[in-house]
Amino acid sequence: MKNKWFFVIGVILTVLLLDQGLKIWIKTNMYLHQNIPLFGELGILKDQARLHFIENEGMAFGWKLDWEYGKLVLSLFRIIAVGFLLWFIHSLIKNDYKLGVLFSFALILAGAAGNIIDSAFYGLIFEESVMHSRNVAGFTSFGDGYAPFLYGKVVDMFHFPLFEFHWPEWVPKIGGNRFEFFRPVFNIADAAITIGVFSLLLFNRSFFKSKEDEQTDIPEEEIDDDQNNTLEEESIIYNPSKD
């Protein structure tokens, strides 16, 4: 049980260190909406893979709640979700679930925690990154930043606009509009949540099966062998004498 906790904690700390390390570097070395090609200026994917510094007040991939208290509600929801995930992972370890399931939930928890750190503390310790300014933000004295507790902005940076086109004019409602894939800008924490969810769905589907389903999910060969053994036992027990 302790080994599994060490494994989970190791996954969480690794994701948090990578996530926060990159975010702090972006915040203190890039100005808002600056682009840096991930593979250099001469890279094949110069325009399709880049660091693009933005800040958002919402959920993963820049989605947000357009409401006065939406940011506060979202931050509190994240904290509650992390608390629930900690309890849930503890129950999984207690019930001896395999490492693949624990790895998936550890990624989800780490991703949620990574974005909570931004919301909770970045507004307290950083200067504001100003729109249409090439000034790079820096650290401030604790509490003298750009926003109060839980109102900080989440730092995003990965942008992969692999292709784009304009919808034909005859398409209803969206005709003439520009379409870009993949448009959302995200961070390591968002990626960890996404990988955790997909790894559960693709590689740990047995997690969603009940114990009854697992018991009924027995190969037909084993069932036939069990039936044959039962018939043999019955024939031994019932062996009437010949006339």
Buried b (16+ CB within 10 A) or exposed e, 1-31: eeebeeebeebbeebbebbbebbeebbeebe
Instruction: Please state, in angstroms and rounded to a whole number, the distance separating the CA atoms of residues 221 and 38.
Output: 53
| pTM for the model | 0.80
Q: What is the pLDDT of residue 152?
A: 92
Q: What is the pLDDT of residue 230?
A: 57
Q: Which residues are catalytic?
A: 156, 190
Q: What is the pLDDT of residue 206?
A: 78
Q: What is the pLDDT of residue 9?
A: 96
* Annotated domain spans of the chain: 2-205
**Spans in the chain with pLDDT lower than 70:** 41-44, 58-68, 210-243
